[in-house]
Amino acid sequence: MDARLDILAVPSAGRALKHFMTAGRALKDLPLPTRTRELVELRVSQINGCAVCVDMHTKEAAASGETALRLNLVTAWREATVFTEAERAALEFAEQGTRVADAGTGVGDEVWANAAGHYDEEQLAALTLLVSFMNAVNRMNIITQRPAGDYVAGQFH
């Protein structure tokens, strides 16, 4: 299976995407725990059905020490007992920030307040940027039908 378009190989798109991906790398330096960041990236990608990002973030999370049990339960995080309250708040934030067409309002006040109870302003800004960035990347991969399965952890670092 091949992608419809290798968007990085298109000169004008490649120049723009270089800046976009630099912004994505900068998100790793924001003050959000690595485990939380990886769980959010994975959950957003699951919701959007972005196979290449699910592949990538599952492998990156595992490489950074995440357990198979927790990775397998991300899709059912509400019923799982293996996530901290802070992680649960971030996952709910990610879901509402991703399902904006479903909710109509994006992240609701109650979900925002819950996240604010676990994360400071810098971390809330990081969550907001991360969810927004992941949604954009997911859409590019889905539109171009990038295939999944061959990502190697650390490939883009």
pLDDT over 90 at 106, yes or no: no
Q: How large a percentage of the chain has pLDDT more than 90?
A: 65
Report the alpha-carbon distance of residue 6 to residue 121 in Å, rounded: 37
pLDDT over 70 at 103, yes or no: no
pLDDT over 90 at 89, yes or no: yes
List pLDDT tens digits, range 26-41: 888 989 999 999 999 9
Alpha-carbon Rg for the chain in angstroms: 15
Q: Which domains does the chain have, with CATH numbers?
A: 7-144 (1.20.1290.10)
Give me the helices (H) in the chain, please.
Answer: 11-27, 34-48, 51-63, 68-73, 85-98, 100-103, 109-116, 121-144
Tokens of 1: 């299976």
pLDDT: which is higher, 140 or 6: 140
List pLDDT tens digits, range 8-63: 777 888 888 888 888 888 888 989 999 999 999 999 999 999 999 999 999 999 99
List pLDDT tens digits, range 117-138: 999 999 999 999 999 999 999 9
Mean pLDDT of the chain: 90
Phi, psi of 155 (to 5 degrees): -55, -35
Global confidence as pTM: 0.90
